[in-house]
Each structure stands twice: as structure tokens, then as C-alpha cells.
Amino acid sequence: MEASSGGNPATAPRVRPSRTSAGGDVNPESTPQQSAQVPAADVADSPEPRTPRTGRIQVPGPSVVRARERGRIAEQNPVVLRTEMLTKTYGSLVAANEVSMDVHAGSFTGVVGPNGAGKTTTLSMITGLLRPTSGRVTVSGVDVWTDGPAAKRLIGTLPDRLRLFDRLTGAQLLYYSGVLHGVQESVLAQRSSELAEAFGLESALGRLVSDYSAGMQKKIALACSMIHAPEVLVLDEPFEAIDPVSASNVTEILEKYVGGGGSVVMSSHSLDLIQRVCDHVTIIVEGSVIAQGTVDAVRDGVSLEERFVALTGTNDTRKGLEWLHGSSDSA
């Protein structure tokens, strides 16, 4: 994922000056042709990515190539998601300021920033849930705002604070999600079954979603976002409210999806997770992109958390609050 200026992929991050002084394969349409793995040695010797007959871009799975190499290979693939100067204002408040990025097929991109930085606003504009004040979003060349139905068939979405139709059972929710995205009814049952098994929800499909725990609701929502085999998944805090075991399971599912040629754009407050899982990262502060590129290029030899703190100018909390360490006011 890189800034769209110039059109040339680069591994070096784009960094704007800081404003402070601080220096089973789960793809529902998976076929044997899609899931074929490319040995690491072949990847290094082959300048051209392989294209399976399904039309998906094939990249090596995470078990063969580490995230950093996956990102390097993905940059040779076509751009599947592009934002151009995305801006959203509310009166004098600028929630997103000229956000431009390219996401390549087979990449796993993390979007990070402080609370209120504009991450959710940006992702909502990308998925067609929030109309931008200006700018453009395309998915595989389809404009999200001039041809919304076609674009949304290419995108799987997990919004922030998603409201589910919780008076439906899990099976009904999957069914209607598939129908609304144009999936043929003849394949819906199989896809629902495979997704339920992958997310560990087999025994819960007959229950009302309102009876699900918060983590189960997040997993059924993720399953719904994948049932139409989108080209891009845009996920806002997908690991929120999920226990560690389920988080590991979801990570594996998303990595396999990326390994089959899909692309993931994911926001998270866990910088450790982003560093471990993602191959690209974009840092947004006060609505603007201040750094983006491969994870290794952005972190520049230190941990992503250290780099994030340096770029965002996080205040030193060691100063002040001395009264917390003193004697009680009631003394």
C-alpha cells in the first residue's frame, strides 16, 4: 500500500513532518486452482505473479513467505483499491484530509492512528457508508460512489459499531447477506457451512444472533463480510471483543484469504498485531496520512509502536499527576 502520487511502488515510507516536536482454506469460492502454493524459491526467481484461472492474483501463503516478503511480492500485483484525495469535513472540522493510498492484490494493510485520528471516517468512505466531501474511491476500477452496487459486490465490510439484524438466526443472517450481495442460492448453504466451521460457529447457526456473545457477533459479522468472496475486505477493529484463541483463528482465516489473492485493509489499536500480521501500514493523524509503506520501511529498524510514538508526538505522561502519588486529600 503506498501513496498514489507518481504511481511507482516503493518500499520506503512516505512521511510527512510531524505536527509536534517529537522526533481449511476459508475463501468461500476457493478451488484447487486458487489454493496452489508457490514455493519460496520459485517466488524469488519469478518476476511475474501467477494468475490462476479464477482471475484472482496468486501470492504465496504466509506459511511459505513472511509478511514482509508477501508485501514485496504484492506490490507487483495490480492495484485493487485506490483512494484519491479523500476528504471529509463537518463545517470547519476536517475529519479526513486528502487521504490517498493504493492497495495491491494479495496485501494485508493496517491502518493505525490515535483515537479520533480519522481511521473510521476513512474506512467508511472507502466502503460507501459515508459520502466524502471530495475525492474518489475505486475498487478494481469501479467507482464506489458512481456505481455503488457493483463496487459493494467487490468489497466485504465490517464497520465500527456494526448493528446486526439480531432477531435472525446465524444461518438466516448468512443467507440474507449472501443474497444481498448477489450470491446464487445454490451455493449459499455450502458457503455458510464452511464459514461457520472456519469461525467455530457450527453449533450456533440455529440460535438468534441476539443470544450471541460480543465475540460471536463479531465472528458472524466477519463471516457475512466474506460470504460473497469479495476482492477486498475492509475491517474496522475486527479483533475487538474477541478472545485470544478466536483472535488466532481469525488471523489465520484472514492470512489464508490474503494468501489466495484477496486484500485486507484493517484498522486496529494493537500495533503489535499490525506489525506481526500486516505487510503494509498507514499512519493517520488528525485526518492526514503522515506515513505509509511496508511495515519494515515505516518502522525503520525500531518497533512499530516506537515509530508510531515518535511520529505522532504522543505526550510524555510521566510529567504531572504527582497528586496521584501523594497523601490522601482527606488526610
CATH architecture of the domain formed by 1-16+37-154+231-315: 3-Layer(aba) Sandwich (3.40)
Helical pair 185-198 and 170-180, crossing angle rounded to 10 deg: 130
Least confident of 171-180, 202-211, 310-319: 310-319
Q: Find cell 447477506 and name the residue.
A: 177
Average pLDDT on 115-136 reads 94
All CATH 3.40.50.300 domain ranges in the chain, comma separated: 1-16+37-154+231-315
Query: Model confidence over 148-157: pLDDT tens digits?
Result: 999 999 999 9
Q: Find cell 476459508 and name the residue.
A: 26
pLDDT at residue 145 above 60? yes
Query: Model confidence over 152-189: pLDDT tens digits?
Result: 999 999 998 778 898 999 999 999 999 999 999 889 99
Query: Contact at 8 Å (CB) between 246 and 215?
Result: yes
Least confident of 32-36, 84-88, 176-180, 251-255: 32-36
Helix, strand, coil percentages for the chain (3-state, nearest 5): 35, 20, 45
Average pLDDT on 298-311 reads 91
The 3 state secondary structure assigned to 173-240 is HHHHHHHHCCCCHHHHHHHHHHHHHHCCCHHHCCCEHHHCCHHHHHHHHHHHHHCCCCCEEEEECCCC
Phi then psi for residue 186, to 5 deg, are -65, -20
Query: Contact at 8 Å (CB) between 67 and 279?
Result: yes
pLDDT at residue 284 above 90? yes
Average pLDDT on 283-301 reads 92
Query: Contact at 8 Å (CB) between 112 and 284?
Result: yes
pLDDT at 325: 67
pLDDT at residue 252 above 60? yes
pLDDT at 308: 92
pLDDT at 41: 39
Mean pLDDT of the chain: 81
Q: Find cell 456473545 and name the residue.
A: 213
Percent of the chain with pLDDT strictly greater than 90: 58
Average pLDDT on 300-318 reads 81
pLDDT at 51: 40
pLDDT at 175: 95
pLDDT at 47: 44
Helical pair 244-259 and 214-226, crossing angle rounded to 10 deg: 10
Report the predicted TM-score, pTM, of the whole model to 2 decimal places: 0.76
C-alpha–C-alpha distance, residues 1 and 29, integer Å: 25
pLDDT at 73: 77
C-alpha–C-alpha distance, residues 163 and 221, integer Å: 9
Burial label for 166, CB within 10 Å (0-12, 13-18, 19+), is middle
Write out the E strands in the chain.
14-15, 79-90, 93-104, 108-112, 134-139, 142-143, 155-158, 232-236, 263-267, 280-285, 288-294
Q: How confident is the model at residue 322 (pLDDT cuts 50, 70, 90)?
A: confident
Q: For the chain, what's the residue count?
A: 331
Radius of gyration, alpha carbons of the chain: 21
Least confident of 50-64, 83-97, 238-252: 50-64
Query: Model confidence over 8-62: pLDDT tens digits?
Result: 444 455 554 444 444 444 444 444 344 334 344 344 444 444 443 344 444 444 4
pLDDT at residue 139 above 60? yes
Percent of the chain with pLDDT strictly greater than 70: 75
